[in-house]
Every structure is written in C-alpha cells, then in structure tokens.
Amino acid sequence: MKRYWLLFSQWVTVLLAIWFVVATLQPQWLSGYPSAMQGMTLLQAPPSSSGNRPAGSLSAPAQKASPAVVSINTSKGKRKDNNPLAQDPWFRFFYGDPDEQNTAGLGSGVIVSPEGHILTNNHVIEDADDIEVVLSDGRKTMAKVIGTDPDTDLALLQIPLKNLPVIVLGQTTDMQVGDVMLAIGNPFGVGQTVTSGIVSALGRNQLGINTFENFIQTDAAINPGNSGGALVDVNGHLMGINTAIYSRSGGNMGIGFAIPISTAKQVMQDLLKNGKVIRGWIGVEPQELSAELAESFKLPLTGPNALRSGVVISGVLQNGPAAKAGIRPGDVILQVDQQSVGNVSELLHQVASLKPGAPAQVRVWRQQTEMNLQLIPAERPAAKTQQR
C-alpha cells in the first residue's frame, strides 16, 4: 500500500509541474480550464497622498514653486521700410509687404511680490513693444517694465492682477555644490516644465555673458524659453534666475547658468527705488595680472611683504575719476576701499559697490612702491546693448 501511495504522489507531482509549465508558457492550450488567477485577491498599493510621496520625490518643491513661475510672450512692432519703392504695388507683389514683418519671443519670469512684481532676464523683454504674461492658472495680462539692468541681464516687470502666487526667496549663503535644484520655466514654448539637477559650481565668472558675473552653474536642463525662469531648492525657495546655457547645438548640454537671488534681490531693490541700478565707476581698462607681468613690474612674490594678487591698469580714461586721482597706465591696483583685489572680476564688483561722489581709497603698486590714492568715483554709464 505504501508503494502505491508513493507512485500516486510522484505522478501527481509530475502532472502539476507539467500543468504549471504549460499554463505559464502556453496558456491558450488550457483555454477550456478556469484561469489560475480567478478567485485570487490582488493586493494593490493605495494611492499616495500629497504628503506621502515616494522617497526621493521632488513633487513638493515643484508644486510649491511652480504657480509663481510665469510664461512671457513678447512682440515687436511692425518694421518700417525706408525703401521708396516699398509702396509700389509691383515691388510689394514680388518682395512682400515689409509692414507685415514682425518678430516675437518667449521666455519665463518669477512673481516675487504680492504687488505683481516679476523678475526675468533683460534679454527676454529687450526692445519689446508688447509684453504678455501668462500665469500657470491660465490668466493672461499685459505687463509694464519697472526697470532693466543690462549689466546683470535682469529686468523687473509688474502686472495688474490680484491674488497672485508669490515665491519664497531663498538664501544663497546656504547653497553648496551638490545641492539638488529644480529649473522651472517654459522651454521652447511647450508649457511649464520642471527639470532637476544639482549645483555644479558657484561663483562662475569671466564667461563673457554679462558685465557683472557671479553665476550658479547647474546641470538641470535649461533650454531656450527657460530664460528668466526659477532655479529653486528642495524647499521650493527661489535661489536663482535661469539665464544662459553653454551649448554647441542650441539645446541643453548639462551646463546652465543662473543669477543668484542675492544679486537679483539687490537689483530689484534699486530698480524699485531709483528706476535704475546705480554703480560706481572710475574709468580704467583693467587687465589680469599674469606671472610674467608681475615679474616685469617687479612685484615682491616672496617674503613677508609678498603681493600675490592685483590687477594691471592698461588704460585710463582722460579726465575720468581714476585719471583725476593720479592713477596711470601700468599701475597695479592692489586694494579698493581696503578690500584686496584678486582679479578683474573682483575689481569690477568692488568699484561698482562704491557710492558715486563719496571719496574712496585705492592702493596701487608703482615703480616698486606701494601708495594710497584718493579718488571720487562717478556713476557708471548705462550699458550698451550686447549681442547675445
């Protein structure tokens, strides 16, 4: 009896194994049999609430910051043609109507106050005749320009709407390389888009983008149309205004640049108060101090009185503040207002921070001697439009 029972068990095991293999690989052969899944209760995860997102989700900062990011559509008026034949019907038939030629652009902006102030890039609204702002909730309105600052490529707009979503301004002093960032904007006009990345570097300058540069570099995808949009941290706080990308094709290559909110906040305050940004200016042409120039000027590079930084003055504007103070071509500026000068970028920022009309001390190296000169900075002239 025991032997028959063993044979029966073996056959049942083999048949079940065969049935399982067939049901897995060729279920159509068993179409006449009830499915093995019938009668089984499937356990599914309940829908996640907004406060219980999967680990690593960035939906919270995206939802917090996105309503304050707007799309900006600009247009320029119809171009006038001075050609005397422009009104000739045959000329217009063959060459088209010049009055119908107009241009349009798009970009992004960030609402930074309940009064409707919007930060964006100057190049987004530059030379525009009409500026339309589209909110994330679908509202549209025309914006007016409060002021622009081409030197930092920033502009401040205002819209006449109420109940506006306002972004929280962050603190760039808390930012470190490796922090996760979100870039929010309207790339290529497809609609509001959120991309993520990290802070790749801080304090990027000498890129030839703006006169005053102190960029945040990020690998979050930034494309045409993202200009003027928000760079936010994991708390949804505004850390920068997306401005430019490094690209060989015109698209994102993982190297984007944003203006720190600390710079944008200062520019915004000046534009609200004065309608423009007032900076100091001394009228010199600076040049980086290379090792060869330091040797030719016989700067002490070793010892207790070593001078390891400075900026060479290669030109001085006639009758400018520097010329009146006695600064000459060939001088090496070591300090401005008791702050050491390390490179041309630092010199520009330190001079810009001087108050026009207020005396300031400049320490220079001339003919193997250090000397202090007093100058009275003037107001920096308006920047010329740059080809971006």
Domain boundary among 254, 274, 294: 274
Kindly give the parts of the chain with pLDDT less than 70: 1-2, 22, 25-53, 55, 77-103, 247-252, 301-308, 383-388
- Does one domain contain both 266 and 358? no
Q: Is residue 41 part of a domain?
A: no
| Active site members | 123, 153, 227
For residues 179 and 204, membership in a common domain is answered with yes
Answer whether residue 179 is part of any domain. Answer: yes
Which of 251, 263, 157, 289 is closest to 210 using CA atoms?
263
Q: Do both 142 and 119 map to the same domain?
A: yes
Largest CA distance in the chain: 121
pLDDT given for residue 190 in this prediction: 81
CATH code for the domain of 100: 2.40.10.10
Residues 154 and 230 in one domain: no
- pLDDT of res. 17: 77
Q: What is the number of structural domains in the chain?
A: 3
Pairing of strands 339-340, 256-260: unpaired
Q: Output the pTM of the full model.
A: 0.72
177 and 185 Cβ atoms separated by less than 8 Å: no
199 domain residue, yes or no? yes
Q: Are residues 196 and 128 in the same domain?
A: no
pLDDT at position 118, please?
95
From 239, 274, 309, give the residue that closes a domain.
274
Cα angle at 34 between 32 and 35, to 5 degrees? 115
- CATH code of 359's domain: 2.30.42.10
CB 118, CB 157: distance < 8 Å: yes
Residue 217 lies in a domain: yes
* Residue 373: domain span: 280-379
pLDDT on residue 387? 42
> Is residue 115 assigned to a domain?
yes
Whether 267 and 351 share a structural domain: no
